[in-house]
Amino acid sequence: MAQSMSMKAPASVQVARVARSTPAKVAAPRALGPKMFGNTAGLSMSSKGSAPQRGALEVCAALSDLRDRIESVKNTQKITDAMKLVAAAKVRRAQEAVIGGRPFSENLVKVLFAVNARLDGEDAEVPLATVRPVKNVLLVVCTGDRGLCGGFNSFMIKKAEARVAELEAMGVSASLVCVGKKAVKYFKNPQRSMYNVIANFDMGNKPTTAEAQAVADQLYSSFIAEDCDKVEILYTKFKSLIATVPTVQTLLPLAAEGEVCDVNGVCVDAAEDEIFKLTSKDGAFAVERESLTTDTSTMESNIVFEQSPSQILEALLPLYMNSQVLRAFQESTASELASRMNAMSTASDNAKELKKDLSLSYNRQRQAKITAELIELCAGS
């Protein structure tokens, strides 16, 4: 009996365990189902509710970017306005130097050739007036030391390349003397080894007689040693604040009549200049222009020289070379400063227009944001 009862007990326990475990397994999915679907519904509701928040954040980020750009444009405009005023003040001084030096250099040329005319009946030799068959040309290229002056430097470099190509097409070799850091950096680049640069000099904002003398000595020695048969100088002739003319002038040998001519024989002496005064009009920077006629009086032929013409000529030739080189430097410097002033003026105007467009876009986005917030408040109420 005891054994039979003990044999039945495990069976009842096993049935009870199965009975208890079966409802638990069936009930488990019912209990998890509502919780699972409830969580899914909650996730879908939270994703729908976060879309306006993300849109608002994107609008705020866009407005912040626009504010930063507007401030950046304002700061840039302040810099360009300051550089414009500085360039205007410098170009006025450079213009005064150009206009003040032209009568001296022009009259010096007339005296030089008046003396040269007296040597026609003598055996004296004038080396700088000796005309030889042109096989090698020494070209002096004048550029600036700095940028931010529009296309001034690049245009002069292209002009020099075109002149070298023109000479090579005629079977004439060309050597370069670079004046200005921009020309030195460009033509002495290892990738442009086809250009023969024999010397280089800095330009500066205030060309001095000593700087011009160093270049003149280089040109004088090259021509006397017959390393070149002709010396040309490429510079930008200053006519006004908005008008500059790239000019290729022949320095050596001397012209027959003493006038300053370009390579085509056209006289490049200035008969009229334009000066200006810095003024303020309606609280802004303004320029008053005034025409000025340069005195180009002729040289009298009945002058009596106390010393021999050959001695006077030897003393005048170095002075002539110095004055012509200094004049070209002054013209080029004034043209560079005028180009920088015009470039900064254009940059300031562009900054004003850009600031206006950015402010308009900022106000439109801000108004759209406010309108969207009002619509959400009305819909929620």
Query: Any idea which residues carry the catalytic annotation?
Result: 149
218 Cβ partners below 8 Å, 6+ apart?
A: 177, 199
Scan for tokens 């290229």, then name that residue.
141
113 within 8 A of 257, measured Cβ to Cβ: yes
151 Cβ partners below 8 Å, 6+ apart?
A: 339
Beta strand spans in 205-341 (E): 230-238, 244-252, 272-281, 284-293
Length of the chain: 381
117 within 8 A of 213, measured Cβ to Cβ: no
- How far is the C-alpha of 375 from the C-alpha of 363, rounded, in Å? 18
Scan for tokens 């993300």, then name that residue.
54
Beta strand spans in the chain (E): 136-142, 173-179, 196-201, 230-238, 244-252, 272-281, 284-293
